[in-house]
């Protein structure tokens, strides 16, 4: 099949690898691939036989299915940019972590063209599952596209023929999962500062014995360090979803702020320089917590020095 990928970040590249391994033709477009930081994208595309397109429309012009895997804030813009060039009868699978309202707005753009919009909700982290990540489908074309996606190697399940249901499921889950990431970073870093991390971990193990808190904490720290910007955008969409229910999204909004804060620390090199494969992963969350604390102490010392002048 001819498959187009809109967005060639971590998710896009994983999908490209699995689709090319099954001998499908893959074209891709990413806003960053022509910039200096896009060299990793260009190298990856060359290595896996993926055609990098010059624009959204160039990428989707000959596709049977297009998969949009961009950041949450670009969900509607990506659909709008692709809509007019989608071939008649082709499917536009919106893989993005966005609110029901954003998905409905994206669907409206696609409906103005010749393509068929399908809401997608990725229900867990992509890397361990790769193309077979659990995927909820929604909208009037979900039933039709399901067998096509299975043929491509995806693991889809139709959630509803009504747009917004799959995304609401994803967003409400994200309040919990991404919120837990933020809570662990905040709690464990503060515990490290006060020298009580072992006592906190012992108490958590007693309360939640099924969880390996050491391993989980290290995983949470590294995912937020590497993908905090993308996660914060997702949590702002989750906050919109909560607000649509009439609830003030205090937890979701706070999680977005914490994710953004960690992303900004990463951008300033607090966790080391980003390499071609991302940040070096630590098997001990304490390494990253200490880096955060060292940064905060340095910032406080600088502020104290300014005030003394």
Using pLDDT thresholds of 50, 70 and 90, give the confidence band for residue 275. Answer: low
Distance, CA of 234 to CA of 224 (rounded, Å): 12
pLDDT tens sequence across 30-83 = 999 888 878 999 999 999 999 999 999 999 999 999 999 999 999 999 999 999
Distance, CA of 186 to CA of 289 (rounded, Å): 9
The pLDDT value given to residue 36: 81
> What is the DSSP code string of 67-117?
EE---GGGHHHHHHHHHTTPPTT-EEEE-----HHHHHHHHHHHHTSS-EE
| Angstrom distances, CA of residue 162 to CA of 80, 97, 237, 295 | 20, 17, 19, 48
| Angstrom distances, CA of residue 226 to CA of 77, 271, 272, 278 | 24, 10, 11, 7
Residue 90 has pLDDT above 70, yes or no: yes
Residue 279 has pLDDT above 70, yes or no: no
Using pLDDT thresholds of 50, 70 and 90, give the confidence band for residue 283. Answer: confident
- CATH 1.10.1040.10 at 168-308, yes or no: yes
Distance, CA of 148 to CA of 2 (rounded, Å): 12
Closest of 167, 163, 136, 166 to residue 149, by C-alpha:
136
Using pLDDT thresholds of 50, 70 and 90, give the confidence band for residue 304. Answer: confident
Contact 24, 2 (CB under 8 A): yes
Domain map (residue ranges) of the chain: 2-161, 168-308
Distance, CA of 175 to CA of 190 (rounded, Å): 22
Q: Which CATH superfamily is domain 2-161 in?
A: NAD(P)-binding Rossmann-like Domain (3.40.50.720)
**What tokens does 270 get?**
């607090």
Average the pLDDT over each of 75-89, 93-107, 124-138, 277-291 and give the range with the smallest value: 277-291
The position carrying tokens 């990253």 is 288
Closest of 122, 250, 257 to residue 186, by C-alpha:
257
pLDDT tens sequence across 181-235 = 999 999 999 999 999 999 999 999 999 999 999 999 999 999 999 999 999 999 9
Distance, CA of 128 to CA of 145 (rounded, Å): 24
The position carrying tokens 């399901």 is 146
The pLDDT value given to residue 131: 98
| Angstrom distances, CA of residue 268 to CA of 23, 38, 260 | 40, 19, 12
The pLDDT value given to residue 281: 64
pLDDT tens sequence across 99-125 = 999 999 999 999 999 999 999 999 999
Q: Kindly state the average pLDDT of the residues 147-174.
A: 98
pLDDT tens sequence across 7-45 = 999 999 999 999 999 999 999 999 998 888 789 999 999
Using pLDDT thresholds of 50, 70 and 90, give the confidence band for residue 274. Answer: low
Residue 289 has pLDDT above 60, yes or no: yes
Distance, CA of 113 to CA of 36 (rounded, Å): 33
Q: Which residues have CB under 8 Å from 58's CB, separation 6+?
A: 27, 29, 85
Please report which helix (H) or strand (E) contains residue 253, including its range: helix 250-267
The pLDDT value given to residue 103: 98
Q: What is the DSSP letter of 27?
A: E
Q: Which residues have CB under 8 Å from 35's CB, separation 6+?
A: none
- pTM (predicted TM-score): 0.92
């Amino acid at each position: 099949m001819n498959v187009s990928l809109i967005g060639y970040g971590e998710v896009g590249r994983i999908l490209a690898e699995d689709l090319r391994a099954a001998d499908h033709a893959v074209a891709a477009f990413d806003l960053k691939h022509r910039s200096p930081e896009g060299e990793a994208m260009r190298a990856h595309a060359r290595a896996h036989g993926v055609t990098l397109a010059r624009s959204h429309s160039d990428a989707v012009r000959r596709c049977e299915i297009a998969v949009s895997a961009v950041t949450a804030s670009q969900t509607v813009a990506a659909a709008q940019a692709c809509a007019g060039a989608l071939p008649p009868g082709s499917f536009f699978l919106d893989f993005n972590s966005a609110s029901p309202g954003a998905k409905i707005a994206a669907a409206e753009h696609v409906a103005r063209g010749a393509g068929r919009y399908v809401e997608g909700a990725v229900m867990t982290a992509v890397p361990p599952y790769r193309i077979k990540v659990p995927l909820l489908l929604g909208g009037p074309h979900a039933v039709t596209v399901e067998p096509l996606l299975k043929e491509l190697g995806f693991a889809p399940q139709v959630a509803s023929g009504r747009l917004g249901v799959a995304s609401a499921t994803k967003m409400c889950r994200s309040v919990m999962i991404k919120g837990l990431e933020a809570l662990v970073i905040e709690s464990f870093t503060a515990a490290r500062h006060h020298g009580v991390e072992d006592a906190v971990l012992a108490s958590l193990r007693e309360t939640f014995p099924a969880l390996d808190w050491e391993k989980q904490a290290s995983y949470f720290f590294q995912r937020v360090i590497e993908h905090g910007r993308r996660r914060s955008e997702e949590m702002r969409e989750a906050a919109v979803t909560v607000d649509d229910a009439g609830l003030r999204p205090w937890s979701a909004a706070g999680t977005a702020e914490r994710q953004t804060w960690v992303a900004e620390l990463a951008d300033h090199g607090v966790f080391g320089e980003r390499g071609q494969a991302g940040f070096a992963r630590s098997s001990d969350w304490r390494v990253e917590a200490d880096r955060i604390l060292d940064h905060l102490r340095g910032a406080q010392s600088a502020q104290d020095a300014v005030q003394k002048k």
